[in-house]
């Protein structure tokens, strides 16, 4: 790794915290994977006291996951590349349903190595009709990115990501956009990103509980600073990088598996509020201009 190349390995442990929360949902393979993943939990979240804030986090992770699937269903994608997938097995779920799909699931080397072990333990290959590849990839490495792309047959490519852009500063975002743009310009297809995160209002940050290790992680990776100022500024940013907004996923919260648990712990002021909760994230489909 060159001196000016960022080391993202410190990000990968956070994937376990997300997985443990997803394990309380009906997301495919999440429960089984969470049961197998070894090691301490990085954020010191209290999984015994499942209060309002706990279930809000789980709801967010579940709705974010399904938002990508919602937009994928509105394409005819058969060549799909997922960036920084963590311990999600979206590709396995899709390949189990559709023999036409070639899904390349990528993350950093240590995550992929663990994921390959989990896939063997769960006998995931036994259920596949399509083709699933689990491959290491540093998304900032254009040469490695191009090598992954060349594994696909001819035709459009759909690139998806869930939980990546908040770890990148503005220049790194631009670099990633350049790599994705050049790929889609040649091959066609679209980019579905669940990472249109807006900076949280100060009053929300003040009441949102965080463990010390989680707060340190957010500070270390400048996560709040790396978010967009507004949805308008996010759309303008992508436009400047050569992308146009196509559509946004719309979540039907009534369909989320976590909702019965969340409803049980809703504070009275929230239950009786006429105002919708603040929107801090969106999932967008983008195309090259």
pLDDT per position as a tens digit, 176-197:
999 999 999 999 999 999 999 9
The whole-chain average pLDDT of the chain stands at 87
More confident residue, 208 or 121: 121
Residue 15 binned pLDDT confidence (cut-offs 50, 70, 90) = confident
Q: What percent of the chain has pLDDT over 70?
A: 84
Whether the CB-CB separation of 39 and 46 falls below 8 Å is answered with: no
CA atoms within 13 A on the CB side of 274: 0
Choices 3.20.20.80, 3.40.47.10, 3.40.50.150, 3.30.420.40: CATH for 14-269+278-288: 3.40.50.150
- By the 10 Å C-beta count (0-12 exposed, 13-18 middle, 19+ buried), 263 is classed as exposed
More confident residue, 202 or 35: 35
- In the chain the beta strands, taken as DSSP E runs, fall at 79-83, 102-107, 131-136, 157-161, 189-197, 243-248, 281-288
- By the 10 Å C-beta count (0-12 exposed, 13-18 middle, 19+ buried), 179 is classed as buried
- By the 10 Å C-beta count (0-12 exposed, 13-18 middle, 19+ buried), 229 is classed as exposed
The pLDDT of residue 61 is: 92
Whether the CB-CB separation of 282 and 248 falls below 8 Å is answered with: yes
More confident residue, 279 or 100: 100
Lowest mean pLDDT among 139-153, 215-229, 231-245, 274-288: 215-229
Rounded Cα distance between 61 and 76, Å, is 25
The pLDDT of residue 65 is: 97
The yes-or-no verdict on residue 1 having pLDDT over 50 is no
Cβ neighbour number for residue 162 with a 10 Å cutoff: 22
Section 162-179 average pLDDT: 95
More confident residue, 118 or 2: 118
The pLDDT of residue 272 is: 77
Residue 19 binned pLDDT confidence (cut-offs 50, 70, 90) = confident
Q: SS3 sequence, 162-206?
A: CCCHHHCCHHHHHHHHHHHHHHHHHHCEEEEEEEEEECCCHHHHH
Nearest to 238 by CA among 189, 176, 280: 176
């Amino acid at each position: 790794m060159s001196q000016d190349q960022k080391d993202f390995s410190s990000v990968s442990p956070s994937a376990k915290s997300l997985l443990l929360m997803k394990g309380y949902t009906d997301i495919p393979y999440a429960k089984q994977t969470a049961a197998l993943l070894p090691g301490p939990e990085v954020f010191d979240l209290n999984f015994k006291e499942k209060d309002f804030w706990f279930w809000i986090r789980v709801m967010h992770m579940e709705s974010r996951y399904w938002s990508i699937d919602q937009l994928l269903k509105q394409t005819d994608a058969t060549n799909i590349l997922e960036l920084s997938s963590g311990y999600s097995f979206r590709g396995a779920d899709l390949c189990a349903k559709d023999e036409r799909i070639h899904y390349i699931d990528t993350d950093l080397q240590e995550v992929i190595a663990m994921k390959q072990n989990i896939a063997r333990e769960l006998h995931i290959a036994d259920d596949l009709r399509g083709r699933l590849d689990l491959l290491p990839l540093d998304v900032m490495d254009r040469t490695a990115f191009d090598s992954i792309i060349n594994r696909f047959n001819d035709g459009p490519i759909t690139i998806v990501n869930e939980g990546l852009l908040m770890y990148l500063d503005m220049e790194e975002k631009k670099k990633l956009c350049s790599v994705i743009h050049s790929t889609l310009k040649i091959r066609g297809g679209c980019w579905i990103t669940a990472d249109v995160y807006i900076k949280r209002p100060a009053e929300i940050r003040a009441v949102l509980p965080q463990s010390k290790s989680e707060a340190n992680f957010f500070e270390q990776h400048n996560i709040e600073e790396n978010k967009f100022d507004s949805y308008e500024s996010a759309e303008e940013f992508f436009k400047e990088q050569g992308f146009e907004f196509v559509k946004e996923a719309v979540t039907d919260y009534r369909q989320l598996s976590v909702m019965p648990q969340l409803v049980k712990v809703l504070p009275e002021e929230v239950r009786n509020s006429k105002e919708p909760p603040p929107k801090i994230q969106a999932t967008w489909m983008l195309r090259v201009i």
